[in-house]
Structure 1
């Protein structure tokens, strides 16, 4: 009973944190490039996690490091850069809505590669979700010609990466603490993130006021939206199922749209219908 209440509490907290992440990315891109933002997000999260979780690294067995590496790649590295690149072209609220396809992808990948059983209503959920996604993207492309909706493909790829990540954790890393998994992930990611940052012009422009202002948004994004959120998320995966854990994306768009509207983003009525259709598809896919 306690575990059931705990998983719903984790789900609600994550929806608030990750729902706010998209507007933080948008604000960070005011002074930073997408690659600078993705790298700094990882670096800030890594430094924070080393402070609180360094000792937890010793709980990771040698044979588990390959799965830690895979989850770091799919769960953080690729999405961190792809979301930042996508938001250089499309609104933060649209990005959050497209991210809600993650449970559908978790179900498809789980059934295909991890032996999760498909049910009839879940197949319909996948179809309905894809229809909503196409409606959202194509209508956005028509009504917002100044935005390049081809970049929505990057969000879809990131959601597939998240889906792979949750299935890997559930199958291979359930016996580790969420802090061990998260700290291990960022130990692996710190060096490549530093290398990518080095090859940008960040150190030449870091003194610029606009860049320094953006850094505060990414500091929050790295520590809270990445470090703390991943610890909570991995714990949620361990006490629930991959599909339930990724169902946090039901609620993320609500929070993200709220922030987007405050920042003068506009959704057309057709896009709202598309978003609603996606959520129906996600609900069907997660329904037992």
Structure 2
């Protein structure tokens, strides 16, 4: 037995950093794909394609857990689906029409801080002084990000939309933790995505583009749904099962870095000094906040 453990441990240790890096690259790339496809599709239509494809990829997991789905569970899926996919994905896509991909990727980092803030204000979860100071620095970073100027871009609106999207994620994270503890994670994701798609469908149909988007836009939309949503969630929760949530969530530190990197290298969106300063403040505060939360 000890021989088996010893022989498999090196392979696992080698695989985990690769998967963490891959997830950071994929989720960072989602902001690149939104930047390419948001204008041709419009936010609602693009997000509808993304959510439907992601839900279809994960549907088998929901089918296996169908005995746990009743009217109350469907209502919970709908609430979290709105807060975890339909609304924030639309906000990020709306922002991607107006500013470089890196803006949304940096704002997305605030999710951890908003999750802690919602836990404090809604559920009375205690936070230490160090974590509170980290949160303050992170939110100051948002102000810095919003103050940036890029020719031809509306940075303020995009950063504000990304911040609002992260606040939605913060509520969704708290609801998910309390409502879906007894549901297999991928089944819960599939349920929330399915309900999110149904909620968004009327808006997507009403704003569906009259002219068919380009192949590049369709390719980006499909990549958002299949790769960045369906497959990425499957890899992420498989990683949680193997190495634990604390280590698996470190991939989120890489998302803003890859978001800025992909925009810079593939779309020639050079990061500004304001973006770099704000990103360092927000990412640093997230790292401190998350470590403090894990210790508590």
TM bin (shorter chain): 0.7 to 0.9
1:36 Cα deviation after fit: 1.7
Q: Secondary structure at the match of 1:205?
A: coil
| Root-mean-square deviation over aligned CA pairs | 2.7
User: Given the superposition, is the C-alpha separation of residues 105 and 162 from structure 1 closer, same or farther in structure 2, using an over 3 Å criterion?
Assistant: same
- Which range moves more in the overlay, 68-77 or 186-195? 186-195
Could you tell me which residue of structure 1 aligns to residue 161 of structure 2?
Answer: 154
1:12 Cα deviation after fit: 4.0
Residues 40 and 222 in structure 1, CA contact (< 8 A), matched pair in contact too? yes
1:196 Cα deviation after fit: 2.4
Could you tell me which residue of structure 2 aligns to residue 215 of structure 1?
Answer: 218
Residues 42 and 193 in structure 1, CA contact (< 8 A), matched pair in contact too? no
**TM-score under structure 2 length normalisation:** 0.83
1:228 Cα deviation after fit: 2.5
Q: List per-residue Cα deviations over 1:66-117 (Å, max 9, x = no partner).
A: 3222211111110111110011111101110111111111111112223432
Q: List per-residue Cα deviations over 1:137-190 (Å, max 9, x = no partner).
A: 21x13xx25222223211111101111112212222122112211221133233
> What does 1:52-71 align with in structure 2 at a 5 Å threshold?
52-62=60-70, 63-71=72-80
The CA distance in 2 between the partners of 1:235 and 1:171, in whole Å, is: 21
User: Given the superposition, is the C-alpha separation of residues 155 and 246 from structure 1 closer, same or farther in structure 2, using an over 3 Å criterion?
Assistant: farther
Could you tell me which residue of structure 2 aligns to residue 267 of structure 1?
Answer: 271
Structure 2 unaligned regions, length at least 5: none
Structure 1 unaligned regions, length at least 5: none
User: Given the superposition, is the C-alpha separation of residues 94 and 281 from structure 1 closer, same or farther in structure 2, using an over 3 Å criterion?
Assistant: same
The CA distance in 2 between the partners of 1:79 and 1:275, in whole Å, is: 20
**TM-score under structure 1 length normalisation:** 0.85
| Structure 1 residue corresponding to 2:44, chosen from 35, 46, 51 | 35
The CA distance in 2 between the partners of 1:7 and 1:179, in whole Å, is: 20
- Which range moves more in the overlay, 188-197 or 221-230? 188-197
Could you tell me which residue of structure 1 aligns to residue 92 of structure 2?
Answer: 83
Residues 60 and 180 in structure 1, CA contact (< 8 A), matched pair in contact too? no
Could you tell me which residue of structure 2 aligns to residue 240 of structure 1?
Answer: 245
The CA distance in 2 between the partners of 1:272 and 1:154, in whole Å, is: 19
| Structure 2 residue corresponding to 1:14, chosen from 20, 23, 32 | 23
Residues 142 and 159 in structure 2, CA contact (< 8 A), matched pair in contact too? no
The CA distance in 2 between the partners of 1:59 and 1:12, in whole Å, is: 36
